[in-house]
Amino acid sequence: MNRHTLRLCFLIGFAGMLAACGGGGASTTEDAAGQVVHQYMQAKIDTNADSIRNLLCAAQEANLDREAQSFAGVKAHLENVTCNQDANANTVTCSGAIVAEYNGENTTFPLTKYNVVQEDGQWKWCGEAN
């Protein structure tokens, strides 16, 4: 093995170690379903329709435009968000909030519980849970 190949193997191994330790994810304490909901909330405040489309379940596809435009033209951010799947359920409970600025005043939208489903081996956001 030449030095270039050895260096490449080291970098690949190091990147894998970082990923396994939670580097680059939404949060090191969120599970896979929770990360999807967190990513969905970020895409929603960013009005990123492509990301929302990829994170929506099939049953919610008709609501894509509404979801993508929820925070259009509004300055918003996520605050102290952590999301995790509830034990033995297809729901994710999130703590934290979306903080949006309307006419110079902050309005806080506390996060709650959301439905998730697996489609094609991937977790998808599927609306608010009752």
Determine the pLDDT at residue 78.
Answer: 97
| Pair 49, 5 in one domain | no
Domain range for 112 is: 31-128
Under a CB-based contact definition with an 8 Å cutoff, are residues 75 and 99 in contact? no
Please state, rounded to an integer, the average pLDDT across all residues of the chain: 82
| Pair 60, 113 in one domain | yes
Rounded Cα distance between 130 and 122, Å, is 22
| Pair 74, 112 in one domain | yes
31 versus 12: which is more confidently predicted? 31
Under a CB-based contact definition with an 8 Å cutoff, are residues 93 and 112 in contact? yes
Burial label for 103, CB within 10 Å (0-12, 13-18, 19+), is exposed
| Pair 49, 12 in one domain | no
| Pair 85, 50 in one domain | yes
Most distant CA atoms of the chain, gap in Å: 62
Determine the pLDDT at residue 27.
Answer: 42
Number of domains in the chain: 2
1 versus 50: which is more confidently predicted? 50
| Pair 50, 13 in one domain | no
| Pair 37, 72 in one domain | yes
Taking the whole predicted model, whether its pTM rises above 0.85 is answered as: no
What CATH code is carried by the domain that includes residue 121? 3.10.450.100
44 CB neighbour count, 10 Å cutoff? 22
79 versus 24: which is more confidently predicted? 79
| Pair 56, 91 in one domain | yes
| Pair 42, 100 in one domain | yes
Given a cut of 80, whether residue 70 has pLDDT beyond it is yes
Query: Read out DSSP for 28-48?
Result: TT--HHHHHHHHHHHHHHTT-
Given a cut of 80, whether residue 26 has pLDDT beyond it is no
| Pair 81, 60 in one domain | yes
Determine the pLDDT at residue 130.
Answer: 86
Given a cut of 60, whether residue 47 has pLDDT beyond it is yes
